[in-house]
Homo-oligomer: A and B are copies of this chain.
Amino acid sequence: MKAKVYVTIKQNVLDPQGSAVEGALHSLGFEEVGKVRVGKFVELELQTADRGEAEARVKAMCEKLLANTVIEDYRYELE
């Protein structure tokens, strides 16, 4: 089974990397770009067949390691 985890900075938290990308895109001539947020995308292979169990385990991985839940949100998909 494969899991895709998306970790994004919470809406009310400053994202300096996003601001830097926004500035760089503007100076490259992409003036139509508004707010930019940069996050992480993690692909995991899982040796489990049980979907319910996999879901619980991926949630635990996010809480413990993949996301800093104080400033980041996460969501995941299993396939």
* Interface residue ranges, A against B (CB under 8 Å): 6-8, 18, 21, 24-25, 28, 30, 32-48, 57, 60-61, 64-66
Contact = CB atoms under 8 A, between A and B. Distances in A.
A37 B46 CA distance: 12
Given A36-B45, A39-B40, A41-B38, A24 B57 contact: no
- For the complex of A and B, the 3 pairs showing the least CB-CB separation, nearest first, are A34-B45, A39-B41, A41-B41
A36 B64 CA distance: 16
A47 B30 contact: no
Given A34-B47, A47-B34, A42 B21 contact: yes
B32 A43 contact: no
